[in-house]
Amino acid sequence: MIESGNFTFSETSIPGVIVVDAKAFGDERGYFMETYKRPDFLAGGIDADFVQDNQSSSAKGVLRGLHYQIEHPQAKLVRVISGTVFDVAVDLRPGSPTFGSWEGVVLSAENRRQFFIPRGFAHGFLVLSDHAEFCYKCDDVYHPNDEGGFMWNDPAFAIDWPPLEGDSAFDASKLVLSEKDKCHPPFVG
């Protein structure tokens, strides 16, 4: 764990995948927090030149992913500004000792946690709350003809998706997937 400025950077079981916690300063008016400050992120082990910000809005049960860019991989710094999601990164880096492994973290407006996903990873998330607003920075622009993907339930990854809020167990029948996300090829490691 590294502390720098108003941030705490925690390594996960996959080198380079980092959970970022930011200090919030609150009073009766609400709160203020920094979400990104390059010198602190460099000190925390994140050296990405972010060039694009994205935001999505999704309903409960929406699962987006697992997506990646083939020739133009993107590092991402993701966070949730409303609601709760389970965010997942899958290591696709050839030769990596954690190739094919995944790391997941709950991101919410309440915990204000961020998740850094380096280049070379597939990414996806599941909306656990009634609604979620998801924001992320990318270190390369999106190239629509360069996207690849794998099924969210690929047995090679065996991702342990959590239940939706209010449910006692994960129920795949409640997932909302795009047509594209319903037909990704299987992972062949």
pLDDT of residue 71: 94
Alpha-carbon gap, residue 116 to 77, rounded angstroms: 4
pLDDT string in tens for the chain (189-residue length): 999 999 999 999 999 999 999 999 999 999 999 999 999 999 999 999 999 999 999 999 999 999 999 999 999 999 999 999 999 999 999 999 999 999 999 999 999 999 999 999 999 999 999 999 999 999 999 998 999 999 999 999 999 999 999 999 999 999 999 999 999 999 987
Q: State the catalytic residue, choosing from 67, 123, 142, 143.
A: 67
Asked if 31 is an active-site residue, the reply is no
Q: Which residues are CB-neighbours of 66 under 8 A, at least 6 positions away?
A: 88, 90, 122, 123, 124, 149, 150, 151, 152, 154, 157, 184
Q: Is 184 noted as a catalytic residue in this protein? A: no
Sorted by where each begins, the domain ranges of the chain are 50-182
Q: How far apart are CA 172 and CA 47, in angstroms?
A: 37
Q: Which amino acid is at 103?
A: E
Give the Cα separation of 80 and 98 in Å (integer): 26
Where residue 21 falls (left for φ over 0; alpha for ψ -120 to 50; beta otherwise) is beta
Catalytic residue among 68, 123, 136, 184: 136
According to CATH, what is the number of the domain 50-182? 2.60.120.10
